[in-house]
Every structure is written in structure tokens, then in C-alpha cells.
A = this chain, B = another copy of it.
């Protein structure tokens, strides 16, 4: 087992991190300009808009987007204050909070989406052939699933999700 990454691995790692950093920076600006939301807030709303009944529990909503409970509480509070979501106790589990996107929230997502899609297409997919796209999608899905399955490493903080 090599102690180092192969040069090819290192280059791949760097290219991946820089590309996504650039992409993230660009979409962050687009989302803020088109809808006055942070990217995290946009992701939360987009998720709710795509959910059955347009609602999710806090825990389900956090999954994959946010890494601390209090962070989500904070963001949900901001979205609620802006009238984009409502929070109600869950009838199924009295501990849980159901977050529901409002019509204003749906409208906000719709206002952001066309420019967002255009930007992602131009920045991320423009230089890819159809075959590259398929391969990239397969590879990233594999990596994502692998990472999701990793038990959080020994770090002091306890991770969400179980």
C-alpha cells in the first residue's frame, strides 16, 4: 500500500475540488442574485418542493445538506421568517417538526431555477460529450454512495443520521 497518492490521484483530487469550488461560488451568486437565498437555503427549499406533500421533518430535511441540527434550526427559522416555509408539530411523532414549503417558497424556487439550470449547463456540462456525462454521473453516484456509507470517523462531534 502506497503511503502517497499517485500523481494521477492527486491531480484528480485537486481538479475535483477546484471545479466544485468554482461551481459552488458561481451558483451561490446566481441563487442570491435571482432569489436572495443562500445556496443551502435554496437546496432546502428545492428539496421540500420535490417532496410528497411538500413537507419533511427537520431530520429528513437536513440529510445530506446540513451537518448540524442547530444549523438547520437556524436556517429553517430564517426561511420561516421570510414566509417561505412553515413549521408544525408532526402528528405521527410529537417530537418531530414538519417543515412545509409555502406557495411563496415554491414561487421563489421557480424564480431561481431557470437561471440556475442555465448556469449549471454552461459551466458544468458545456465541455462534456454525452458519453462523458454518463460516465461522470455513474462515477459520482458511486462515490457519493460510498461516502454516505462511511461511518463518521473518530471526531469529537457526533454525526447526524443513523
Query: What's the Cα separation between A29 and B127 when bound, in Å?
Result: 33
Contact size class for A?
Answer: 35 or more
The smallest C-beta distance from A7 to any residue of chain B, in angstroms, reads 10
B17 and A20 form a contact (CB under 8 A): yes
- The CA of A22 and the CA of B148, in the complex, are separated in Å by 8
Which parts of A118-162 form the interface with B (CB within 8 Å)? 118-128, 132-137, 139-148, 150, 153, 155-156, 158-159, 162
With a CB–CB cut-off of 8 A, which chain B residues contact A135?
A: 135, 139
Q: Which of A8-16, A54-62, A81-89, A93-101 contacts B (4 or more CB under 8 A)?
A: A8-16
Q: Which residues of B contact A153 (CB under 8 A)?
A: 26, 29-30, 119
